[in-house]
Chain A
Amino acid sequence: MKQFRILAIGLLTTGLFFSSCSNDDTPEHIHDHDTIHEVELTVSNADGTNPKTYSFEHGKDFGDKIELEKAKTYKFEITAFEAHKDGGHVNIIKHIIEEKDEHFIVYNTAGLDITLTREDDATTTRKDGNKLGIKTHVTGNKNASGIFMFELKHEPTSVDANANNQFGSATGGSTDILAKFPMEIK
């Protein structure tokens, strides 16, 4: 009889659970906190005047088209990694800079002839002396149109800021950002 009683109690308890849990609450809406959905690149004259912002957004193959004058040096600065935070946006570039020793930016082009120099100051230079690559100077050498690209690498095993004429190189690690901008030099 004991077993019957246990069984009965067991079934009843389950019944209780079934009924008490049937009110399914609406799940809290989560704003993706740290997923970067937009990257901003600010291009200005070498002295910082006349800044223009170019954006590369999640879900798109390319960002805004960048137009440069041939033989003129521009200041390029990656100014924003926009992430959602509780409905609004938040620029998490400061976190990248805080964790600069785990990060590195590698530049690349397709069909372009440009000179790139890393202009990072101490705040954006890694402990190993490699400049992160957030701030650069870019000069277009020939009339051309092509693709200007940079990648933000996370935890690469080795980096070299001076490799490939300061475009930089990195081995291993994972790619956090891959931003491609069409670029025209004329």
Chain B
Amino acid sequence: MKLYFWLIFLLGIIPLSAQNCNLKLQGKVIDFHNGMELEQVEIKQLSTNRIVYTNEDGNFVFDKLCSGTHEFLLKHHDCDDTVMKIDIHENKIVEWFLEHHIIELEQLEAHGAVKREISTAVEQHIHIKEIREKSAETLGSALKTISGVSALESGNSIIKPMIHGLHSSRLIILNGGTRQEDMEWGVEHSPNIDLNSFHDLRVIKGSAALRYGGDAIAGVVLAEHPILPRKNEWKGETTLTGIYNGKGGAGNLLVHKGFNSPLAFQLQTSYKKHGDFKSPDYYLRNSGAETKAFFGEVGYNTFENKLNLSYSYYNTDLGILKAAHIGNLNDLVNAINSDIPLTNNTFSYKLDKPYQHISHHLAQIKGEKRFKNLGKLEANYAFQFNKRQEFDNRLGEVKETPSMDTELTTQSTEAVFSLDKWDKTKVYSGVNWAYQRSFSLPETRIKRLIPDYQMYKIGAFAGIDIDLTQEIKFTGGLRYDFRKLNTKKYYYKLYWEKKNYDKDFQNNIIGDFNNQWLVQFGLDNHAVSTSLGLGYKPNAYREINLNYGLANRAPNPAELFSEGLHHSAFSIELGDVRLQQEKAHKISLNYYEKWNILSDVSLNVLGYFNYIKDYIYQIPTGLEYTIRGSFPVWSFEQINASIIGADLDLDIDWNKKISSKSSFAYLYANDLSNNLPLINMPPWELNQSIKYDFQTKNKAFVSMEIDWVGKQNRFPDYNFEIDVIENNMNIRKLVDISSSEKSYLLLGVKVGISFPINKYKANLNLHLKNISNTKYRNYLNRFRYYADEMGRQIQLQLNIKF
């Protein structure tokens, strides 16, 4: 800041004054960010408590000042309080700059209108209040509350978020600004992220946010930590949650402290544990989980410079439903034909095999420099280490050895320059680098599920955001990505020949190991992604946005290199090194309208069409005999696909006390190459809630929720028959792996109240889910063949802010 004072000082017009106490200070208060004059800034001379205000041009005058050093306190409703110190020995003209964005963010966040990533791309949020309510759940289950967001599940704890029917490597999760790298290629690998460490989850449906990658065909989830405080005080909150189903609970503690200076820090930790969940009729044996997490950040943030260091740690043990651990297709047929799981269905906290033990570390350093009247430069470096161990039933010496033990190390850096000096045009540009190494420990004594690899990624992007008129906005972005993947993999010769690799890749063989080849691959991918958006916002009550995005996704290691029995997924998985990049063209139209009828009515409708060329999916392509019996073979193949859908949100404040929220999502997805419906697509879903606010001082409320999920009538038929020996006969039996599940309706009730405990504010909530204990199965749960979903859940939660 001093530099600016001196500059201004030198440039200032300096009328001389002989009088000691008749000096005049004239000045202007300006928004540092965009150079706009700030009106109604309170300027208080600290020695005399004299106050003046800036006029509409941001100007102010202080007269009758004595010669010497003066301190002024600047207050503005959108800004942090700032003290300016100045030596005055003659009349002076100054320009003072105020940063109003930090507070603006905090304030706006509460109302759900944070500045968007891309101004024409509508974002949906999970705010802190909902995050706290879901403290005992996972990121995936929290995101599911947004229309158009569903999840691919493996039981009740492994929940992979899905946007408009797309998931895994098509969905980017930004963990505090860094792209989460946690082996998202696996269908039973859920995000290794603690929901509790975030203040806000922002969902951008579609690939418009090119800054984060050109491969977000599904969309981007921005998970953001709380902003560091300024005030010199300890603040924090704690949340304690108890759950009846699973007989478990969660605890979360957040503390942060500022020092009335740029320095501040925050610490957060959470722990949760539950035993086996219960379906209406039986316990879901081995569905327990335990999670420990920590997040810490220290920052030094001034107007122009920001430097933040943070570290987060996530550690979880996830049980895999015992009933889903089957040996072969005969077992699957028996499981499908049995109403209840053929396991010992009693309650336990103990995790048996199979289970997953995962840890994730993320350390990052973020810097930002603002340039007066120009823009800002952001840079960051992040280090991530993800370790995944999967324990299965094994024999003998390796009984306690995991059958998968893979470590993924990722280092990434990013530099972005945003030019925001102009009022109507914003330009940004940047580069990302990433280096990733995947290593599987040979001590597992099992053939690696995916080979060890090194991956290099470089991306460069630029974007523009223009206000064409007061009502019309245009956004555009362009991104180039290069990815290099080096690997050495052992292939079974049988498989090598079966895939005809001997014709195309014979020169890649570098070693002969009995029945296996050692093969080397260096795969390069180049991609250009674009996004275009047009927004029309005639007033605060109406907004229409049209977006187009071209996204490219290079195949992930599982799609390229899977080979063999994936026991936890109950399939023989075959990847294909010939797979090309997926290219998705998505057009979406968003319409928002708000009416001044009743108390407040708002409607948001999003319609979209996504055409994906060379869409990679996994389908059953046959049976293979193993020593365990027959297994389905799931191959990764490429087709052209289309997804058309709509999301609808209607919020009504009927009066001051009664409000309701409704959301609806439907999509229609096709495998265009085979003229079939696309596999594993969400059915229609309608969520309704109605809330009665007693308008009392203790903020008491009661709300009722209805979640209604339809039957997916559009699914491809991949059923097949197997030979089963029974009663001295060889019989053919149908294995129905395709049929979808029945429609279901779940009811919930929530009541809450606020009250003070000493000087602290406390909230107590009681949440009942699936009140009627409805028995149902979910088409998007991979374990739907084996067991019902969870039954009634009762959650009691206490949140205290201090």
Interface, chain A (partner B; CB < 8 A): 2-4, 6-7, 10-11, 13-14, 17-18, 21-22, 24, 26-39, 56-61, 87, 92, 94-96, 98-99, 108-113, 146-147, 149, 151, 153-155, 157, 171-180
Expressed in whole angstroms, the minimum distance between the Cβ of B442 and any Cβ of chain A is: 4
Known contacts A30-B446, A39-B627: A2-B413 contact under CB 8 Å: no
Q: Bits for B723-750, please: 1 = Cβ < 8 Å to A, else 0.
A: 0011011100000000000000000000
Separation of A94 and B446 alpha carbons in the complex (Å): 20
A60 touches B730 (CB 8 A): no
Expressed in whole angstroms, the minimum distance between the Cβ of A163 and any Cβ of chain B is: 13
Separation of A11 and B444 alpha carbons in the complex (Å): 36
Who on chain B is nearest to A108 by CB? B725
B435 touches A3 (CB 8 A): no
Q: Bits for B695-736, please: 1 = Cβ < 8 Å to A, else 0.
A: 000000000000000000000000000000110111000000
Q: Which of A32, A58, A175 contacts B327 (CB 8 A)?
A: A175
Separation of A4 and B369 alpha carbons in the complex (Å): 9
Separation of A6 and B313 alpha carbons in the complex (Å): 24
Q: Which of B307, B380, B489, B728 contacts A109 (CB 8 A)?
A: B728
Chain A binder among B158-166, B390-398, B459-467, B672-680: B390-398
**Set of chain B residues within 8 Å of A18, measured between Cβ atoms:** 433, 435, 456
Separation of A38 and B120 alpha carbons in the complex (Å): 62
Q: Which of B447, B452, B488, B628 contacts A32 (CB 8 A)?
A: B447
Known contacts A17-B435, A175-B331: A58-B307 contact under CB 8 Å: no
**Set of chain B residues within 8 Å of A99, measured between Cβ atoms:** 395
Can you sample 28 A-B contacts with CB below 8 Å?
A2-B307, A3-B367, A3-B368, A7-B379, A11-B415, A11-B433, A14-B411, A24-B487, A27-B440, A27-B448, A27-B452, A27-B488, A29-B513, A32-B447, A33-B445, A34-B394, A35-B446, A37-B627, A87-B514, A94-B396, A110-B728, A110-B730, A111-B730, A147-B725, A172-B344, A174-B326, A175-B328, A178-B627
B437 touches A21 (CB 8 A): yes
B625 contacts A by Cβ under 8 Å: yes
Known contacts A95-B395, A157-B342: A175-B367 contact under CB 8 Å: no
| 10 pairs of A and B residues whose beta carbons are closest in the complex | A175-B327, A33-B445, A172-B342, A178-B629, A174-B327, A95-B396, A3-B369, A7-B379, A110-B730, A28-B442
Expressed in whole angstroms, the minimum distance between the Cβ of B782 and any Cβ of chain A is: 16
B393 touches A174 (CB 8 A): yes
B395 touches A92 (CB 8 A): yes
Known contacts A27-B452, A157-B343: A110-B729 contact under CB 8 Å: yes
Separation of A27 and B730 alpha carbons in the complex (Å): 44
B451 contacts A by Cβ under 8 Å: yes
Known contacts A3-B377, A157-B344, A172-B342: A178-B395 contact under CB 8 Å: no
**Set of chain A residues within 8 Å of B415, measured between Cβ atoms:** 7, 11
Expressed in whole angstroms, the minimum distance between the Cβ of A137 and any Cβ of chain B is: 19
Separation of A28 and B331 alpha carbons in the complex (Å): 34
Known contacts A110-B729, A147-B725: A30-B448 contact under CB 8 Å: yes
Separation of A58 and B418 alpha carbons in the complex (Å): 60
B784 contacts A by Cβ under 8 Å: no
**Set of chain A residues within 8 Å of B489, measured between Cβ atoms:** 27
Who on chain A is nearest to B625 by CB? A61
Expressed in whole angstroms, the minimum distance between the Cβ of A129 and any Cβ of chain B is: 19
**Set of chain B residues within 8 Å of A10, measured between Cβ atoms:** 365, 379-381, 413
**Set of chain A residues within 8 Å of B608, measured between Cβ atoms:** none
B69 contacts A by Cβ under 8 Å: no
Who on chain B is nearest to A87 by CB? B514
Tell me the chain B residues, 202-220 only, with Cβ under 8 Å from chain A: none
B388 contacts A by Cβ under 8 Å: no
A111 touches B728 (CB 8 A): yes
Tell me the chain B residues, 505-536 only, with Cβ under 8 Å from chain A: 511, 513-514, 516, 518
Expressed in whole angstroms, the minimum distance between the Cβ of B45 and any Cβ of chain A is: 33
Known contacts A174-B327, A175-B331: A2-B442 contact under CB 8 Å: no
B604 contacts A by Cβ under 8 Å: no
B444 touches A30 (CB 8 A): yes
A13 touches B305 (CB 8 A): no
Separation of A4 and B729 alpha carbons in the complex (Å): 77
Expressed in whole angstroms, the minimum distance between the Cβ of A85 and any Cβ of chain B is: 8
Separation of A13 and B398 alpha carbons in the complex (Å): 40
A6 touches B307 (CB 8 A): yes
**Set of chain A residues within 8 Å of B490, measured between Cβ atoms:** 27, 29-30
Interface, chain B (partner A; CB < 8 A): 305, 307, 325-328, 330-331, 341-344, 365, 367-369, 377, 379-381, 393-398, 411, 413, 415, 433, 435, 437, 440, 442, 444-448, 451-452, 454, 456, 486-490, 494, 511, 513-514, 516, 518, 624-629, 725-726, 728-730
Q: Which of B437, B445, B729 contacts A30 (CB 8 A)?
A: B445
Q: Which of B331, B456, B511, B625 contacts A174 (CB 8 A)?
A: B331
**Set of chain B residues within 8 Å of A179, measured between Cβ atoms:** 627
B325 touches A174 (CB 8 A): yes
Expressed in whole angstroms, the minimum distance between the Cβ of B437 and any Cβ of chain A is: 6
Known contacts A30-B445, A58-B627, A110-B729: A3-B437 contact under CB 8 Å: no
Who on chain B is nearest to A8 by CB? B379
Expressed in whole angstroms, the minimum distance between the Cβ of A86 and any Cβ of chain B is: 9
| A38, A92, A172 pick with most chain B CB within 10 angstroms | A172
**Set of chain A residues within 8 Å of B445, measured between Cβ atoms:** 30-34
**Set of chain A residues within 8 Å of B625, measured between Cβ atoms:** 58-61
**Set of chain A residues within 8 Å of B627, measured between Cβ atoms:** 35-39, 56-58, 177-179
Separation of A31 and B514 alpha carbons in the complex (Å): 11
A178 touches B628 (CB 8 A): yes
Expressed in whole angstroms, the minimum distance between the Cβ of B674 and any Cβ of chain A is: 29
**Set of chain B residues within 8 Å of A34, measured between Cβ atoms:** 394-396, 398, 445-446
Separation of A109 and B729 alpha carbons in the complex (Å): 7
Separation of A177 and B448 alpha carbons in the complex (Å): 22
Separation of A75 and B628 alpha carbons in the complex (Å): 24
Who on chain B is nearest to A10 by CB? B381
Expressed in whole angstroms, the minimum distance between the Cβ of A27 and any Cβ of chain B is: 5
**Set of chain B residues within 8 Å of A174, measured between Cβ atoms:** 325-327, 331, 393
**Set of chain A residues within 8 Å of B726, measured between Cβ atoms:** 108
Known contacts A6-B379, A28-B442, A110-B725: A14-B448 contact under CB 8 Å: no
**Set of chain A residues within 8 Å of B397, measured between Cβ atoms:** 33
B330 touches A3 (CB 8 A): no
Separation of A51 and B400 alpha carbons in the complex (Å): 36
Known contacts A7-B415, A21-B437: A58-B365 contact under CB 8 Å: no
Having A3-B367, A174-B326, one finds 20 other A-B pairs with CB under 8 Å, namely A2-B305, A3-B307, A4-B377, A17-B435, A21-B454, A27-B442, A27-B452, A32-B447, A35-B627, A61-B625, A92-B395, A94-B396, A95-B395, A98-B396, A111-B728, A112-B728, A172-B344, A173-B327, A174-B325, A178-B330
Separation of A96 and B393 alpha carbons in the complex (Å): 12
**Set of chain B residues within 8 Å of A180, measured between Cβ atoms:** 725
A24 touches B446 (CB 8 A): no
Separation of A154 and B726 alpha carbons in the complex (Å): 19
Separation of A99 and B400 alpha carbons in the complex (Å): 14
**Set of chain A residues within 8 Å of B327, measured between Cβ atoms:** 153-154, 173-176, 178
**Set of chain B residues within 8 Å of A13, measured between Cβ atoms:** 381
A17 touches B626 (CB 8 A): no
| B327, B437, B442 pick with most chain A CB within 10 angstroms | B327
Q: Which of A14, A149, A157 contacts B381 (CB 8 A)?
A: A14
Separation of A173 and B325 alpha carbons in the complex (Å): 8
**Set of chain A residues within 8 Å of B437, measured between Cβ atoms:** 21
Q: Which of A33, A60, A177 contacts B628 (CB 8 A)?
A: A177
Separation of A25 and B728 alpha carbons in the complex (Å): 54
Known contacts A6-B379, A14-B381, A95-B396: A172-B343 contact under CB 8 Å: yes
Separation of A3 and B306 alpha carbons in the complex (Å): 8
Separation of A92 and B627 alpha carbons in the complex (Å): 14
